[in-house]
Structure 1
Amino acid sequence: MIWFTWRMHRAQVYVGLALVALVMAVFLPYGEAVRGSYASHGVAACLATDTGGDRCQTALQAFMAQFNEVANHLSTWFSPLPGLIGAIVGAGLLGREYEQGTWRLAWTQSVPRVRWFTQRIALVGAGIVVVCAALSLVFRWFRAPVDDVSGRFAPGAFDLEGLSLIGYTLYAFALGVLAGLLLRRTVPAIVVAFAGFMAVRMPVEFWLRQRYQAPVSRLSAPTLHQTVGPSAVPVTPGKPGWTLGYDLVDASGRTLSNAQQAALQDRTQAMHDPDAYLRSLGLQLKTVYQPASRFWTFQLTEFSIFAGLALVLLAVAVHRLRRRCI
């Protein structure tokens, strides 16, 4: 079966290796440029000591302005990659057998069709894990300097740098296998599998992920810049977490309304020392966030969700194949 599976899927193996080589060719040279700028701006020293000084703030802003947008755009282009890889490989596993009529020969040999099916799934799935692990390492190396500043919970980082990438691809692969079995056509199965992949991944990314664990909150002294509308609040210097929200609260812990915050902004913007005025009112900035230390816990949780769904789908495919008449 190993030799047979290799003969059936060697083209996909070559494509997978070519994909890894292409990603390395795109990301590794640019990653060297990111690391050079990271060193020249002294970002590591700022993160190790204090990100609040003017010099460090200037260095961090210059570095992120130069690379953060580009890093996110490159990662965004590769975000559909797990769904495409899994859907294409999975849909062809049975869809091609039906289209070409080779199932009549394959399923009437000495090897039972369920064993034939499960062994191919195991071998192809192992190949998917290897390719995705290699891609994840490349993405992690590329984004590491940016992640030191912005954190690994950003979608471009979280989706491509850890176990979640493997889980996404296995889920799309399982969808493709089941769709190929039910539709008996490769291209329609790819479309259905990719659509089903996105239909699950989007709610997980934008709604469920932040609820894997209850967030924590932190109170800090507010500044005028933060009251106007900060884009990011550094939770711990050098260890950026995932900021879910922030509010101004008074001394009793009550959140100021939007009208109160707007009025406060109008009063403080014209003052010589607005930060001191904010502190004199007893106001604090309440940041709700997921700590950076939870990254691998969240990765394992998300991988478990998608890998578990993949196992369920493959079990359904095995059951349907066993009951299907030849």
Structure 2
Amino acid sequence: MTATLTAQATTDRPAPAPRQLRWLLRLHRPALLSGAAIVLLTGAALLWLGGPLTDASAAAWKQYNACGFTPSCAYDQSSILRYKDVYTYTTTAVLVVPFLVAAWAGGSLTGRETESGTVRLAWTQSVSPARWLASRLAFPAVLTAAATGLLVWLHRLAWTAADGRVDTAKPWYDFATFYANGTVPVALALAGLAVGVLTGLLLRRSMAALATAAAVLGALWAAVHTALPHLWPAVTATSSLEDGPTGSGIPVGEGVLTADGDRVAAPCHSGMMDGCRSTLADLDATGFYRDFHPADHYWPLHLVASGVLLLVAALAALAAFRLLRHRTGKTTG
């Protein structure tokens, strides 16, 4: 009797975390190897971009600027074009990573396991549904945050190395550069992981969950991008009618100020032109205004947007646990 009770207690005891981790690594080894390859290749390209490519492009721009208007002056155009191409490719790669995470989480991490019935096998081996789901969120979240954070850091180093040295380097407020240099891709990748896990549990079909998770994450990013200029108070720059709107950064809105203090959409942008001058006079305009985010709003915008994405990730994870509990009943404990 004692031996029977001991055996039953051993069977009912949740599997230790290392055992679940080994199972997770074995089951998703191809995806982990592919992800590691993507991170290593992109990271190597970013190191190349921020080092030799930036130096070569900066030297080529010095040659070009020294040429002036001399048509026969030679400069290394290929280095300039190579820098531009590699920057575009690596920036795109950094921004695509969250979508790869979402697609993998939906299509393989939960979608394929629920579709094939692998999850039921795991639950019969002393792994409760809640512990199974936690393992599908915790360890991948650590890897996702580390890998995405590394790529963002390397991208920012590469961009900083070229800032002020390469004439065609993207400004900080270029939206692709803005996102790839900050915390938003990390938060977006974590949101993609949670959304993908939830989608896989909901649809229980790997290909459908893969496509749906990527599409949902795209819609989420579009919503955050649309709301971004309004997540932090903008500053206002005013200027004369002759100067036109001024202020460099992420635009929020612009127009003309009237003598009554009203804001009106600008019909034109230069009081130096006769046609524009008369139109502005009819509006009783006194100057231009522009609402925008300057460079010192960079991190506040990123942190607030990242906070929104992390909240979505937390809500998606909570919804996944509730859905699993609803489907499995008391076995989630």
Same fold (TM over 0.5): yes
Counterparts of 1:221 and 1:263, CA distance in 2 = 8
Q: Which amino acid aligns with 1:178?
A: L
Question: Is it true that 1:300 corresponds to 2:317 in the alignment?
Answer: no
**Cα distance, 1:310 vs structure 2:** 1.1
Gap runs ≥5 in structure 1 = 43-64, 236-240, 270-281
TM-score (norm 2): 0.71
Of the three residues 315, 318, 321, the one matched with 2:321 is 318
- Larger of the two Rg values belongs to structure: 2
Aligned position for 2:119: 103
Give the distance between the partners of 1:124 and 1:77, measured in 2 at CA.
Answer: 19
The answer to whether the aligner puts 1:242 opposite 2:262 as a matched pair is: no
Once residues 250 and 323 of structure 1 are traced to their aligned partners in structure 2, the CA distance between those partners, rounded to angstroms, is: 60
Alignment of 1:157-176 (within 5 A): 157-176=177-196
- Which residue in the other structure is 1:137 paired with? 153
TM-score (norm 1): 0.73
Counterparts of 2:241 and 2:196, CA distance in 1: 51
- Alignment root-mean-square deviation, CA: 3.5
Q: For this pair of structures, how many residues does the alignment match?
A: 281
**Matched residues in 2 for 1:198 and 1:96: separation?**
22
1-side partners of 2:320 and 2:26: how far apart?
Answer: 23
- Give deviations 1:74-111, integer Å, cap 9, x for gaps: 53465333122222134312222123322221111222
Q: Which has the higher contact order (CA 8 A, sep 6+)?
A: 1
Match for 2:215 among 183, 186, 195?
A: 195
Identity in percent = 27
Call closer, same or farther: CA 1:267–1:323 in 2, change over 3 Å.
Answer: closer
CA contact (8 A) 2:254 2:266 kept: no
Provide, for residues 155-178 of structure 1, a one-character-per-residue CA deviation record: whole Å limited to 9, x for no partner. Answer: 112222221101111111112111
Matches within 5 A, 1:1-326: 1-31=20-50, 32-38=52-58, 71=87, 75-76=91-92, 78-145=94-161, 151-205=171-225, 207-220=226-239, 227=244, 233=246, 235=248, 241-249=249-257, 258=266, 264-266=272-274, 284-325=287-328
**CA apart distance, 1:70:** 7.4
SS of the residue 1:324 aligns to: helix
Paired residue secondary structure (1:156): helix
- 1:309: how far off? 0.8
Q: Secondary structure at the match of 2:232?
A: coil
Retained in 2: the 8 A contact 1:72–1:156? no
Q: Distance in 1 between matches of 2:195 and 2:132?
A: 19
3-state SS, counterpart of residue 289 of structure 1: strand
| Cα distance in 2, alignment partners of residues 197 and 214 from structure 1 | 26
The one-letter code of the counterpart of 1:160 is A
What's 1:60 paired with?
Answer: none
Q: Secondary structure at the match of 2:181?
A: coil
Pairwise CA distance, 1:71? 4.2
